Amino acid sequence: METLVKWKEEYSVNIASIDDQHKSFVKIINELYDAFMRKEEEDALGDIVVELADYASLHFKTEEGYFAKTNYPEMAEHVMEHEYFIEQVKAFRNEIKMNTKATTPKIMFFLRDWLTHHITNIDKRYQSHLIGHGIQ
Ligand SMILES: [Fe+2]
């Protein structure tokens, strides 16, 4: 299988439940990339984007649940990042209906850039706070 994003140790936030979910995200992005490389995106894209949206909402719920439980001081800013992502995916779902071929690379690169930036810049900020509150 072709991969667009490779998991790196530097992406780890040292919280197993969150790392596992981030790895699943990487897997979904790579599924999309693989379909694109095999030119099967027109059949696969709709399903993968639904899978992605469902997975994102589960993952954001997990993170936001930890924030609420531990009174994370940067919760509001972080939730805004998640909302931006959800809005982008919604917009892409509309674009797909109009032009799947042209939308696929846009989605792939958006996902890769968003995830790697979000993990290394935004998620890393909660690492010591959540670990300090016993989140694993
Ligand atoms: Fe996050």
Residue 111's closest CA among 79, 80, 85? 85
Position 129, amino acid: H
DSSP state of 134: T
Give the model's pLDDT for residue 43.
Answer: 87
For tokens 């996902």, name the residue: 111
**Tokens representing residue 84 in the block:** 């931006």
Give the model's pLDDT for residue 57.
Answer: 95
DSSP string, 31-96: HHHHHHHTT-HHHHHHHHHHHHHHHHHHHHHHHHHHHHHHT-TTHHHHHHHHHHHHHHHHHHHHHH
**Tokens representing residue 96 in the block:** 């797909």
Q: How far apart are CA 80 and CA 97, in angstroms?
A: 27
Residue 132 Cα to ligand 1 middle (Å)? 18
Residue 128 Cα to ligand 1 middle (Å)? 14
**Tokens representing residue 87 in the block:** 């809005």
Residue 82 Cα to ligand 1 middle (Å)? 6
pLDDT single digits (tens) 66-99: 999 999 999 999 999 999 999 999 999 999 889 8
Which of the residues in the chain have pLDDT under 50? none
Which residues have CB under 8 Å from 38's CB, separation 6+? none
Q: How far apart are CA 69 and CA 84, in angstroms?
A: 23
Residue 1 Cα to ligand 1 middle (Å)? 27
